[in-house]
Structure 1
Amino acid sequence: MTAKKLFDYQNDENLDLFVLIKTADVRIAKNGKQFIAFTFQDQSGQIGGKYWDASDEDVAKFTAGQVIHLQGKRELYQNNPQVKIYKLRLTTGDEPQTIDQFIPKAPVQVTEMQDEFGAMLFEITNPNWQRLVRHLMQKHQAEFFSFPAAKTNHHAFSGGLAYHTLSMLRLAKTIAAQYPQIDEALLYAGVILHDLGKTLELSGPVSTEYTVRGNLIGHIVLVDEEIVRACDTLKIDVNAEDMLLLRHVILAHHGLMEYGSPVRPQVLEAEVLHQIDELDASITMMTQSLQHAEAGQFTERLFAMDGRRFYRPVEDPNLDQPTE
């Protein structure tokens, strides 16, 4: 019999399983006592839980990245699932201790994604863009194919960064075929590089956090810096029009300055890239949340989607399938 995972348990059901501590934030309650706000994770997803009256020993013992045995009950708090913790301990002996088995992964093998990216590179017909993309992809290859695309919101799983980028590339190819006025090479190069700065912004697939550079600078500026350095290495004029266009579509991909882009899209390919990014992230967030909702019920509120809840129809067989 297969062991149950976090999202195999229903509300008000007692749970007893092994999980990974994704985050462990020490906070102070109203009564002045410290507690730990946990995020527990396995391959089915992640759920929060609070460990009240935590001792200093508890704080030192139960840290992010530890595999633990958890006993508690699944509850709803403000329509969001959480775990009421009864007991937790570190694993021992022959119990599960390998972190990798608790981390969700992209639904496509890394080798398959690498092959598809390799084929798409030949469709970047501008020689400067192709040389630049090849250089930066090679430089950040290990992180690009293992990092998540975000800490919590969308594609927050191992390989999520590459999978999100690949999904966008597929959308870009379909859209470019429909609208021949789009510069395919510019769009494809922009898609591949748009989130590459997350290899510097994030810490990795396990207990993902923002790095100091990530917090203080952010992935949009970080990747532009990488482009400028690469142009110097490759002897490409960074101020030539083709490079200014590529830098612009990447710098503008969040769409609005209040969302982190220093400029708004001002060329066709920049607007298309922004819309593709929004579409892929939104579909993934909704799909993941809907998979955890019961048929005929609404999802939890999605903060990244204006706090909206989404309804899962009673007959909806597609949501039981992988997102691939």
Structure 2
Amino acid sequence: MAKKLFDYQLDETVDGFFLLKDAEVRVAKNGKKFLAINFQDTSGEISGKFWDASDQDIEHFQAGCVIHLKGKRENYQGNPQIKIQQMRLTRPGEPQSVQQFVEHAPLKTSTMEEQLNTYVFAITEPNWNRIVRHLLNDLHADFFSFPAAKKNHHAFAGGLAYHTLSILKLAKAVADQYPHVNRPLLYAGAILHDMGKTIEMSGPVSTTYTLAGNLVGHIVLIDEKIVETCQQLKIDEQSESVLVLRHMILAHHGLLEYGSPVRPHVMEAEILHDLDELDASIQMMQTSLSHTEPGTYTERIFAMDGRNFYRPSNDQTKGAAPSHD
């Protein structure tokens, strides 16, 4: 069986077929162009740099194509990296399907749909329920296939729905522990909070940000969708129930400098922000720890202040993160 990216150890020769998840053209200090690449398969992604890239190289090696790579697994500033020795496009008879290299959520789409529907049924406030159902139906295919991010957390096919479902499970535990929490509001906010990423991003393969994603962002994009839905369903968008629901989404990044137009001013909005942060952080740590031998540290995680995390030597679990196969 062919080795996957994270089967290769430090200083081991890499020889296999991988997906170019990203291939960005940059200019080195010497003025020559190079490609900053992220190689991907179902075990994860590792970066590499293709130096002195010609115009033909730039034309050939586009994000989303499958390539054959020869190189060496190295570490650079605490992070895994591939030193590229040879790279070429695949030939007839060699792997061509992009899908066989794409990471997927640990749960099947049908399972996520079934589980998520139980939370929709628990949204007993009529306006919230109608809005959630309408938007789930409208964005259904993309919601269950898109990643939750281009890189950091849940950056795999189905990651958006999986991240949402994880937050809903955490929300249920919080609402069970604290009876005064408005369970329907927390559930509705959790389902909608990242749904704008179906407009912000291009899709699950070689994910990029759309023009709307770059210029507007997923928070405002889904808020606009909520207002449009209210107009279509003849729900008063200025009613308290709708304004509180919109606040859940608008405040879920917690701080203005992190992209929220407003900070949380409703208890459930603060809880949603906390659960969103918790789930994202745990998933990033799990992913890194699953590639880390007991008794050693993970690579530095940029989205967690560049910190790395120690995997105790007595941790003999097969992997700290669920398989995405």
| Structure 1 length-normalised TM | 0.98
Equivalent residue number for residue 25 of structure 2? 26
Counterpart for residue 105 of structure 1: 104
Matched, 1:256 2:236: no
Counterpart residue number, 2:75: 76
> Any idea what the Cα deviations from partners look like across 1:143-202, whole Å, max 9, x if unmatched?
000000000000000000000000000010111010000000000000000000000001
Alignment correspondent of 2:142: 143
Asked if the contact 1:107–1:322 (Cα under 8 Å) also holds between the matched residues in 2, the reply is: no
For residue 150 of structure 2, give the secondary structure of its aligned residue in structure 1: coil
Give, as a single letter, the amino acid of the residue that structure 1 aligns with 2:8: Y
Cα distance in structure 1, aligned partners of 2:29 and 2:275: 44
SS for the counterpart of 1:214 is helix
CA contact under 8 A between 1:146 and 1:161: conserved in structure 2?
yes
Residue 318 of structure 1, CA deviation: 3.8
Q: Which residue of structure 2 lines up, in the alignment, with residue 187 of structure 1?
A: 186
**1:198 corresponds to:** 197
Query: Given residue 308 of structure 2, which amino acid in structure 1 is its aligned partner?
Result: R
State the match for 1:161 in structure 2: 160
Q: Answer yes or no: is the 8 Å Cα contact 1:148–1:159 preserved in 2.
A: yes
* CA–CA separation in structure 1 for the residues paired with 2:162 and 2:174: 18
Q: Counterpart of 2:264?
A: 265
* Cα pair 1:290 1:319 within 8 Å, conserved: no
Superposed, 1:1-324 pairs within 5 Å as: 2-318=1-317, 320=319, 322-323=321-322
SS class of match (2:299): coil
Q: Matches of 2:251 and 2:127 in 1, distance apart?
A: 20
C-alpha distance in 2, partners of 1:221/1:316?
42
Matched position secondary structure for 1:196 = coil
How far apart are residue 99 of structure 1 and its match? 0.3
In 1, the alpha carbon distance for the partners of 2:113 and 2:160 equals 12
The answer on whether the counterparts of 1:40 and 1:49 sit within 8 Å (CA) in structure 2 is: yes
**For each residue in 1:213-239, what CA deviation from the matched residue of structure 2 results, as whole angstroms up to 9, or x when unmatched?**
001110000000000000000000111
Maintained 8 Å contact 1:287/1:319: no
How far did 1:69 drift?
0.5
**Local SS of the residue matching 1:18:** strand
CA distance in 2, matches of 1:15, 1:237: 59
Question: Given that residues 255 and 264 in structure 1 are in contact (C-alpha distance below 8 angstroms), is that contact kept between their aligned partners in structure 2?
Answer: yes
Percent identical among aligned pairs is 62
Q: Could you tell me how far apart the structure 2 residues matched to 1:163 and 1:100 are?
A: 18
After superposition, the C-alpha distances for 1:74-96 in whole angstroms (9 at most, x for unaligned) are 01111111111110111111211
Contact 2:291 2:319 in 1 (8 A): no
Given that 1:265 and 1:271 are in contact with CA atoms closer than 8 Å, whether structure 2 keeps it comes out as yes
**Offset at 1:317?**
3.1
Contact 2:295 2:310 in 1 (8 A): yes
Cα-to-partner distance string for 1:239-261 (whole Å, 9 max, x where unaligned): 11111111111110000011000
Measure the CA separation in 1 of the matches of 2:131 and 2:229.
7
Q: Alpha carbon RMSD of aligned pairs, Å?
A: 1.0
**CA separation in 1, counterparts of 2:274 and 2:322?**
19
Aligned pairs, number? 323
Query: How far did residue 123 of structure 1 move?
Result: 0.2
Gaps spanning 5+ residues in structure 1: where? none
* Partner SS state of residue 310, structure 2: coil
In structure 2, the gaps of 5 or more residues are none
Q: What CA distance in whole angstroms lies between the structure 2 residues aligned with 1:320 and 1:89?
A: 32
Distance in 2, Cα, partners of 1:44 & 1:301: 18
Q: What is the distance in 2 between the residues matched to 1:211 and 1:128?
A: 30
Shift of 1:319: 5.9
TM-score, length basis structure 2: 0.98
* Alpha-carbon contact 2:237-2:243 (below 8 Å) kept: yes
Secondary structure, counterpart of 2:296 in structure 1? coil
CA contact (8 A) 1:105 1:158 kept: yes
